[in-house]
Structure 1
């Protein structure tokens, strides 16, 4: 059987190897359980090479010592690896060439991950090629990437967001308890900084929280010229006279910091909260709403990058501190569904006073920021809003879905979103 013929092989003629549950990983134990072959002592004399990836089929050449090359064909489905070759593999038997081709993917561990080869329906069955993918195969290696013009694609089986029962939060738009309070004239002041690092960054191990800091004013008393220290406990303010609002807000800040920590991440990992982190996130989100009026009564508000709390152990640096505005308007999340012919593009946006705005990326947990000014912070209205922005953050606020993949799980997902959010068709 030649390579051109295999591009349209009947799936019933493939041998099937199951992946570990909810993954694209194939273990050595599973491979060995379906074959009597085992890794030979001189395994490194076996040469394997990826030749092509067409029509969802990965073609691999296998060269055994003193034997001609054979071709092995692999197709990745949601739950199984389908295997064939141009020699003697069929639905009941896995040839040694096929065994060695798969074993070659397990050089550094006893599992192989085939996720990068899962591209269902992304190829033209007549040509075997994909207009969506850039496939590189040279001496530096083999790579499959989406072409830059396309956003990330949903694929059947991908995890979709499940909205939760929302908790009540204080209503937006009610008047402040008090205007900014007058304090005795002093060069020393307290300000408040939104402490944050992107939750899916290796540098982050916390949700965003508010942290007080001490500063020295300029001569005209309009700006802070020098940041002296962060205010991390109640004893740090002994040299300052605080207003009642600042005392209340500082107490909330300490509670926020207790709830903020999450696990450290590896550089490739996306943040997905466990049960405890999810519950702490809900409590912290509610604290932001209780603090919001008090925050707006303050004059010196900043955004600070904490590098995973490391920066809080030192005095604030000017390069970390950016003046920001906490806007009083409540944002309304909007989902744009754009018909692109072969696929739908799903984008997250938001409205302020009826005007549609583009989200700044990366986003900030519990807040949205407009692309036009990332230092404007709008506090989200519900914890589900936060979950939705977190879901879209993973794909830079744009997600594509092929039309054959829209029906089913994805359509159900969109129908549930439509119960809570406005969906605009373009």
Structure 2
């Protein structure tokens, strides 16, 4: 195996560009850089992945009645570098290199090489990586970070860019009264935070507030039996509601109209389009309008809906979890920890000077501490949510090799430090 690994002068690599913003090489690009073709696809090509050392993937390629040759691939941010132990240089792609690449994309007219993009993660002296676990079996390579490391930033990864117009002005409604003289009855109005995974493939939605009513317990501390959700002002008309509850319910109905977002495939992270981004901004503003009113309510719940289509009829008791909305506003904090060869970047938040870790998965528009996910803190700005969403992709903890902590990433951290507290350790 080691005999097949060698250091190749990058000047001897032939360069093939990826599709913009991806690590995909298309058959069209391959053909535009070579005169070779597989006539009618009848040539039998055998390829095998042999090693992945020093960022170089070594393949063997066998064409009919010809000896095996070795092809070397190196993935960079924008190009695939290709070499061969026979007849390939920076100006010419050998027949063996062409067919090795063609065989990677024969069924889909394109091939992604993203899994082999690990710049600077290998020791150039040994060819090995202390960061990666690399397994090779008959199906090819499995390349994973070792469990002791968080996700790493790599050059070219998208970074968050904050904008001033996303700092939505607050428009709070103050309660008229913390207590009103209402008739004593066994029925009570409650409110549930309806939430789901924005990246699921169900009927997705932003978190919104939905009124409901049910029968309360003898000690009047909880709703023991849930009767129905409310979706308009006529629902629950037989209930005696305070002025604040009526105002809060009106906001809830507006929230529901803005809540739906498009479905996503299970493996894709939710990225709002321009319309969904605007709906999110307006919904976030409604949360700020409602929040002081909500803090006065006794019966509040968290409801993981599993999709908007499940928010109907009678609430299922097993799905309703009592939660607590907190009046304190969280302050985001970014920790930068020097780990020797890399920096570890973590997102945390402060409440009354105390530093808290975030619970994963995150809740859109809110923070909740790792110690109690049913404590909900409303974020101060829409930009705050974008920051939380960005870090949530790596479970609020990411690493950056020191050679990569420059240019784009350093500029990103500088912009973060202009808005948020950065702690160095």
Offset at residue 7 of structure 1 (A) = 3.2
| Pairing of 1:55-74 with structure 2 (within 5 A) | 55-74=54-73
Root mean square deviation, CA, Å: 1.7
Offset at residue 107 of structure 1 (A) = 3.6
TM-score, normalised relative to structure 2: 0.96
Task: State how far apart, in whole Å, the 2-side matches of 1:180 and 1:17 are.
Answer: 71
Task: State how far apart, in whole Å, the 2-side matches of 1:44 and 1:300 are.
Answer: 71
Task: State how far apart, in whole Å, the 2-side matches of 1:308 and 1:102 are.
Answer: 42
Equivalence for 2:87: 88
Task: State how far apart, in whole Å, the 2-side matches of 1:182 and 1:142 are.
Answer: 69
Equivalence for 1:111: 110
Task: State how far apart, in whole Å, the 2-side matches of 1:102 and 1:229 are.
Answer: 60
CA deviation digits over 1:263-313, x for unaligned, max 9? Answer: 100111011111111111111111101100110111100000111212213
* Distance change >3 Å, CA 50–CA 43, structure 1 → 2: farther
256-265 or 39-48: which moved more?
39-48
Offset at residue 228 of structure 1 (A) = 1.5
Q: Is the 8 A contact 1:346 1:399 kept in 2?
A: yes
Equivalence for 1:210: 209
Equivalence for 2:323: 324
Offset at residue 93 of structure 1 (A) = 1.2
Equivalent residue of 1:234, what SS?
A: coil
* Distance change >3 Å, CA 188–CA 91, structure 1 → 2: same
Equivalent residue of 1:419, what SS?
A: helix
The answer to whether residue 365 in structure 2 is matched with residue 366 in structure 1 is yes
278-287 or 355-364: which moved more?
278-287
The answer to whether residue 169 in structure 2 is matched with residue 168 in structure 1 is yes
Equivalence for 2:255: 256
The answer to whether residue 322 in structure 2 is matched with residue 313 in structure 1 is no
| Pairing of 1:242-391 with structure 2 (within 5 A) | 242-391=241-390
* Distance change >3 Å, CA 411–CA 53, structure 1 → 2: same
Q: Is the 8 A contact 1:32 1:38 kept in 2?
A: yes
The answer to whether residue 177 in structure 2 is matched with residue 181 in structure 1 is no
* Distance change >3 Å, CA 47–CA 277, structure 1 → 2: same
Give ranges in structure 2 of 5+ residues lacking alignment. none
Offset at residue 140 of structure 1 (A) = 4.4
Give ranges in structure 1 of 5+ residues lacking alignment. none
| Pairing of 1:190-229 with structure 2 (within 5 A) | 190-203=189-202, 205-229=204-228
* Distance change >3 Å, CA 119–CA 14, structure 1 → 2: same
Equivalent residue of 1:53, what SS?
A: strand
Q: Is the 8 A contact 2:335 2:346 kept in 1?
A: yes
Task: State how far apart, in whole Å, the 2-side matches of 1:4 and 1:343 are.
Answer: 31
* Distance change >3 Å, CA 299–CA 112, structure 1 → 2: same
- Extract structure 1 runs of 4+ deviating beyond 4 A: 2-6
* Distance change >3 Å, CA 222–CA 114, structure 1 → 2: same
* Distance change >3 Å, CA 43–CA 323, structure 1 → 2: farther
* Distance change >3 Å, CA 276–CA 113, structure 1 → 2: same
Task: State how far apart, in whole Å, the 2-side matches of 1:108 and 1:204 are.
Answer: 33
Equivalence for 1:21: 20
Q: Is the 8 A contact 1:198 1:363 kept in 2?
A: no
Offset at residue 243 of structure 1 (A) = 1.4
| Pairing of 1:95-134 with structure 2 (within 5 A) | 95-134=94-133
Q: Is the 8 A contact 1:209 1:257 kept in 2?
A: yes
CA deviation digits over 1:62-85, x for unaligned, max 9? Answer: 111211111111111111100011
312-321 or 81-90: which moved more?
312-321
* Distance change >3 Å, CA 128–CA 251, structure 1 → 2: same
Q: Is the 8 A contact 2:343 2:402 kept in 1?
A: yes
Task: State how far apart, in whole Å, the 2-side matches of 1:195 and 1:107 are.
Answer: 46
Equivalent residue of 2:303, what SS?
A: strand
Q: How many residues end up aligned between the 2 structures?
A: 423
Q: Is the 8 A contact 1:180 1:299 kept in 2?
A: no
Q: Is the 8 A contact 2:5 2:58 kept in 1?
A: no
Equivalent residue of 1:235, what SS?
A: coil
101-110 or 252-261: which moved more?
101-110
CA deviation digits over 1:302-348, x for unaligned, max 9? Answer: 00011121221342112211000000001010000000111000000
Equivalence for 2:417: 418
